Structure 1
Amino acid sequence: MGPDATTTKARLLTAACDEFARVGFAGARVDRIATAAASNVRMIYAHFGSKSTLFDTCFAHMVAAMAEAVPPRGDDLPEWAAELVEYHDRDPRALRISMWAQLERPESTAEPLRVYAAKVATVRPDLTPTSLRPADVLIMVYAIAQSWHLSPDGLVQHAATTTAERACAARVAVARILGTPERPPT
């Protein structure tokens, strides 16, 4: 694949991630994706084969980008929760595509068990309450970090309004779940 083809494929992937995050798999239109990428529909099929494959590629791309930008910090889960809040506020596409995938293409969300096992392994059991499994704690951290994007807008308007306030609230909530001392934002 030459430089032009690589550039075209990258533009298509970016446009597709934007489209899928905005309207989901069923609502997305390949003609809009092609137009946004300054390309054509034929190139989508040439590079990705199908709309389904394009969606799955976007999902994998966005989740990988999030994991790289904010890797699990099992030794400091309150701070990791705050970092996730900040990430989702900066770029909610990974979260939005993940939600659409769970609703419309659950088969695309099935990361291998080994991937989840590696994430759970980052959680230090000695830093979590004995009554909670590390996987349960990880699920709670994700839920807390995503909660402002998943809650009704009317409720969110009464909650923490800035990213810094939401990050602080997430940090405090996770510290309380873990029974660790709360500390000021870093």
Structure 2
Amino acid sequence: MPRDADATKERILAAATAEFATHGYAGGRVERIASQAKSNVRMIYAYYGGKSSLFDATVAEALRRMAENVPPRPDDLAEWAGDVFDHHQRFPDVLRLSMWAQLERPEATAEPSEAYRDKTLAVATADASPLSPVDVLVFVYAIAQAWQLSPAGLTGLEEATDESETVAARRRSVVIAVERMLQKGP
């Protein structure tokens, strides 16, 4: 049976996402990635050139998919923040991977600047805020990620309710926070 290079690369990236999101760059092991991808270390090096290139490709692909799955909504940035929150609920590995990249290989997160530039231009065009478009994007992302990044000891102070109700309440708080942030002041 002939080898399907694209399918192998996809399996490797999926395994690398899980591995690096769990263990970071330093703790991630190429051998575990190969095993999870039902491939071998030689193929990883053939396709990606090494661990650092694989990590960078994994981060770039995760951020590219997020940009594709959560396109900017400059006319409704509050709901866009809710969309980003939803994305992180569905794909928590992307946020963890991004955090590891910020800590261990910040150059890996510089790659998708085009996606961010497009979002910034969309926000600037919409003229939705007295803040600069970059400020708006940074704050929207920060608010949308806040629940996932906050200590469990703090987020656990909420009244215990049904998990889906808790997530829905958190999403509402993200949307409201962005709406209030964007209100034009005196």
Smaller-chain TM-score bracket: 0.7 to 0.9
Q: 1:70 to 1:159 in 2, by over 3 A?
A: farther
Distance 2:5 2:134 in 1: 41
Unaligned 5+ residue runs, structure 2?
A: none
Query: Percentage identity across aligned positions?
Result: 54
- Conserved in 1, the CA contact under 8 Å of 2:12 and 2:37? yes
SS in 1 for 2:168: helix
1:32 aligns with 2:32: yes
Corresponding residue of 2:127: 126
Distance 2:158 2:136 in 1: 23
Taking structure 2 as the reference length, the TM-score comes to 0.88
Unaligned 5+ residue runs, structure 1?
A: 181-186
Distance 1:145 1:159 in 2: 18
SS in 2 for 1:85: helix
Shift of 1:158: 2.3
Shift of 1:116: 3.1
Moved more, 90-99 or 105-114: 105-114
Q: How does 1:84-95 map to 2 (within 5 A)?
A: 84-95=84-95
Q: 1:117 to 1:97 in 2, by over 3 A?
A: same
Q: How does 1:126-145 map to 2 (within 5 A)?
A: 126-128=127-129, 130=130, 132-145=131-144
Taking structure 1 as the reference length, the TM-score comes to 0.88
SS in 1 for 2:108: helix
Q: 1:134 to 1:50 in 2, by over 3 A?
A: same
- Conserved in 2, the CA contact under 8 Å of 1:85 and 1:146? yes
Shift of 1:112: 6.4
Shift of 1:111: 3.5
- Conserved in 1, the CA contact under 8 Å of 2:60 and 2:111? no
Corresponding residue of 1:14: 14
Corresponding residue of 2:81: 81
